[in-house]
Amino acid sequence: MKSLAELKAIRERVQNQMELRSDDTDKTRIVVGMATCGIAAGARPVLNEFMQEIDKRNLSGVSVSQTGCIGMCRFEPIVEVFRPGEEKVTYIKMTPDKVAKVVTEHIVNGRPVSEYTIGAAEGGK
């Protein structure tokens, strides 16, 4: 760190990241399973990619957080999306490459990406 301006930029970036991780029921919540099974399957890069994508698009009303075991280890990494007034959507076998499509289609446009969901893995049940 070489200047006060650089320190202020770091502070602003960290505050934005903390806001993304806040929990507010009026917000769209993106919850990433981060138990050992999720981490081993690659959940940390998925969590980071969601935070970067939401920040890059400057989306407000969206929080990204983590949780422990969701209970379906064979489908890890798992991401659950909670939109106010809508049913929860569970995405499975997520990768950082899938994040942009989920953000664009589901978070921004309100259309879940069905081919990434638990229903698709169960044959559309």
What's this model's pTM, rounded to 2 decimal places?
Answer: 0.77
List, for residues 26-53, the tens digit of each pLDDT value: 789 999 999 999 999 999 999 999 999 9
* pLDDT over 80 (residue 13): no
List, for residues 72-112, the tens digit of each pLDDT value: 999 999 999 999 989 999 999 999 999 999 999 999 999 99
* 88 inside domain: yes
Per-residue pLDDT at 91: 97
In DSSP terms, 82 is beta-bridged to: 29
**How far apart, in Å, do the first and last CA atoms of the chain sit?**
54
Query: Which residues 6+ apart lie within 8 Å of 67 measured at CB?
Result: 31, 32, 33, 34, 80
User: Which residue range(s) make up the domain with 94?
Assistant: 21-121
Query: Residue 95: which CATH number?
Result: 3.40.30.10
The confidence band for 7, taking pLDDT boundaries of 50, 70 and 90, is confident
Q: How many structural domains does the chain have?
A: 1
* 5 inside domain: no
Among residues 23, 15, 66, 14, which one has the least CA distance to residue 45? 66
Chain length of the chain: 125
* 4 inside domain: no
